[in-house]
Amino acid sequence: MPNVSPSILADYELVIGLEVHCQLLTQSKIFAPDAAAFGGEPNTDISPITLAHPGTLPRLNRRAVELAIRMGLALGSHIARYNVFDRKNYFYPDLPKGFQTTQDKTPICQGGQLEVQWRDQASKQSGQALVRLNRIHLEEDAGKSIHPAEASHTLLDLNRAGTALIEIVTEPDLRRAEEAGAFLAEIRRLVRYLGVCDGNLEQGSMRCDANVSVRRRGQTTLGRKVEVKNMNSVRNVQRAIEHEFERQVALVAAGGQVVSETRLFNADNGQTYAMRTKEELNDYRYFPEPDLAPVLITDEFLQAIEAAMPAMPKALQAQFTGQFGLPAYDAEVLTDEKSTADYFLAVADGWPTGATSRYKAASNWLMGPIKAYLNETSTDLATFPVPPARLREVVDLQEAGQLNFGQAAKQLLPALVAQPQRPAAELAQQLGLLLAATDEGALLPLIQSVLAKFPAEVAAYRKGKKNLQGLFMGEVMKAAQGKADPKKVSELVRQALETA
Ligand code: ADP
Ligand code: MG
């Protein structure tokens, strides 16, 4: 790795443009009825159409068009009404057709933008960037070449060939690796929200290529770019960009020139390696695909897609902080996955406006014990057995002072998971968790005995050490074996200290 001094690095600006491929969640392929499933037996989901055998004709998958438009609408793109597909001709073993069917001149989504917020944990720096999109176009995927370790041959699996993709192409607007990471993470969140793609970078159903160049600060023309591939996580996209920045600056600062080429990222050592130079690339000889008629997007088709758009994470975040009064952090966590946001909304459904403490309690459940349960069991909310209405009952019990959150998280949650059809109050009762000790008659003797045990602390409290309240609270809760309403206890403890 070239060693470039920070002062030299500071003289240069990093310029990044991203190309993100997303496998669309369609049942079948983009031009053929073969299943578009992941992980099947190799070479089982391939029809003669996918292989473009003579006499076969492709037919466009309507759902793929819908999903591409969904993504475009979410990003504020202009939706092209007149679409043609083109043949991009090249030879490669995993492309048995000899050409890729793609959109060259008329991408289905044009322009658009995405605002991203980035944060760097290490330096504690943060910022935001507005990233303009160049386009989103539809195309088919190629098959997969598999290079077994210690083998001299390459294996081909053509199941992926013909799978529907969108390619999201940004303008070269990104200036930091963190911005690129944040952009990719936000795109992944959006495709999941929209049901466009499962967003799995590790399995490659979402893939990101980074175009990277450098230029001296103040220079207005762009430097020569390198395209980096083979990063299978947001983190690795950032690492690859950081490495490429230093490599290019070292080259240019020493009087050399960057070569236009495609490079592969190696996650083991964090470096990039030349794969092929752009100059050696074939001319793709694009021409309109003669077997597919132009596709016209009608007003009705577009309006139906618009009407079916779900609420976007940013809008939900605003609702969660505004209408529900949740902290920004909670709103961010709860809207990270659509299933979490949907679950929360279902829990909150029916609570009066202004029930802020209930919303916060529901949020605590989702961010705390429920999240822990899902992590432990490697499951998600989509298969979580406890229905939202049940969690609403739990929060209502808590709110009425009949349930202690800590205890309920430990004991009631497993019971609810095991018997989700039974009312929460009934299960809590059976487990002995329903608090009778909200009445003062039961609590006051406990409080008095605790205060009697800590005379020095009581005196200190009365002289102004108010934070000792926590100690008394803890002792009373312990004495009540946790079966007391913390709010009530706190109120009674304060009264006892202030009046006695
Ligand atoms: P190509 O014809 O080589 O594919 P494009 O103009 O289609 O190049 O751009 C592909 C991607 O590269 C886009 O995301 C674009 O923003 C980005 N890009 C173009 N030029 C540069 C540059 N000089 N530095 C960084 N990224 C760039
Ligand atoms: Mg390109």
Predicted confidence (pLDDT) per residue in 24-34, tens digit = 999 999 999 99
Return the CA Rg of the chain.
29
Residue 369 lies in a domain: yes
264: left (phi over 0), alpha (psi -120 to 50) or beta: beta
Give the residue, by CA position, lying nearest to ligand 1 atom 17.
17
Residue 357 lies in a domain: yes
**Together in a domain, 424 and 460:** no
Strands 113-119 and 226-231: unpaired
Question: What is d(CA 380, CA 192) in angstroms, rounded to the nearest whole number?
Answer: 14
Taking the centre of ligand 2 as the mean of its atom positions, its distance from the CA of residue 312, in whole angstroms, is 29
HSE (side-chain half, CA atoms, 13 Å) at 385 = 12
Residue 304 lies in a domain: no
Taking the centre of ligand 2 as the mean of its atom positions, its distance from the CA of residue 248, in whole angstroms, is 21
What's the burial of 70, exposed, middle or buried (CB within 10 Å: 0-12/13-18/19+)?
A: buried
**Together in a domain, 23 and 119:** yes
Predicted confidence (pLDDT) at residue 447 exceeds the cutoff of 90: no
Residue 3 confidence class, pLDDT cut points 50, 70, 90: confident
Taking the centre of ligand 1 as the mean of its atom positions, its distance from the CA of residue 262, in whole angstroms, is 12
Our mutation pick for probing the ligand 1 site, out of 15, 105, 187, 211, counting the most ligand atoms within 8 A of Cβ, is 211
How high is the pLDDT of residue 474? Answer: 87
Angle CA(349)–CA(350)–CA(351) in degrees, nearest 5? Answer: 100
Contact 138, 63 (CB under 8 A): no
How high is the pLDDT of residue 422? Answer: 93
**Together in a domain, 96 and 182:** yes
Residue 307 lies in a domain: no
Predicted confidence (pLDDT) at residue 78 exceeds the cutoff of 90: yes
Predicted confidence (pLDDT) at residue 179 exceeds the cutoff of 90: yes
Question: What is d(CA 456, CA 233) in angstroms, rounded to the nearest whole number?
Answer: 57
Predicted confidence (pLDDT) at residue 1 exceeds the cutoff of 60: no
Domain boundary among 296, 323, 347: 296
How high is the pLDDT of residue 403? Answer: 87
Residue 306 lies in a domain: no
Residues 6+ apart with CB under 8 A from 417: 373, 385, 386
Residue 302 lies in a domain: no
Give the residue, by CA position, lying nearest to ligand 1 atom 15.
17
Our mutation pick for probing the ligand 1 site, out of 136, 184, 225, counting the most ligand atoms within 8 A of Cβ, is 225
**Together in a domain, 392 and 453:** no
Q: pLDDT digits over 359-382, tens only? A: 999 999 999 999 999 999 999 998
Taking the centre of ligand 2 as the mean of its atom positions, its distance from the CA of residue 212, in whole angstroms, is 13
**Together in a domain, 359 and 253:** no
What single-letter DSSP state applies at residue 28?
B
Cβ atoms within 10 A of the Cβ of 85, count? Answer: 26
Residue 421 lies in a domain: yes
**Together in a domain, 392 and 416:** yes
Predicted confidence (pLDDT) at residue 282 exceeds the cutoff of 70: no
Taking the centre of ligand 2 as the mean of its atom positions, its distance from the CA of residue 86, in whole angstroms, is 14
**Together in a domain, 444 and 423:** no
Q: How many domains does the chain have?
A: 3
**Together in a domain, 209 and 240:** yes
Residues 6+ apart with CB under 8 A from 233: 201, 202
242-256, 326-340, 424-438: range with lowest mean pLDDT: 424-438
Average pLDDT over residues 392-402: 88
**Together in a domain, 276 and 413:** no
**Together in a domain, 88 and 106:** yes
How high is the pLDDT of residue 290? Answer: 95
Contact 94, 156 (CB under 8 A): yes
How high is the pLDDT of residue 195? Answer: 96
Q: Which of 403, 423, 397 is nearest to 482 (CA)?
A: 403
In this structure, which ligand is nearest to the CA of 19? 1
Structural domain including 377 reads 313-430
Domain boundary among 296, 327, 356: 296
**Together in a domain, 151 and 81:** yes
CATH number, domain of 454, equals 1.10.10
Domain boundary among 271, 296, 321: 296
**Together in a domain, 478 and 392:** no
Pocket of ligand 1 (CB under 6 A): 15-19, 169-172, 211-213, 222-223, 225
Report the mean per-residue pLDDT for the chain.
Answer: 92
Q: Say which residue the tokens 């939706």 belong to.
A: 79
Question: What is d(CA 253, CA 441) in angstroms, rounded to the nearest whole number?
Answer: 80
Q: pLDDT digits over 94-139, tens only? A: 999 999 999 999 999 999 999 999 998 888 999 999 999 999 999 9
The helix (H) or strand (E) run that includes residue 110 is strand 109-110
In this structure, which ligand is nearest to the CA of 228? 1
Contact 343, 320 (CB under 8 A): no
How high is the pLDDT of residue 39? Answer: 79
The helix (H) or strand (E) run that includes residue 293 is none
Question: What is d(CA 137, CA 196) in angstroms, rounded to the nearest whole number?
Answer: 14
Task: Write out the two tokens for 121.
Answer: 């944990």
Residue 152 lies in a domain: yes
Distance of CA 242 to the CA centre of its chain: 22
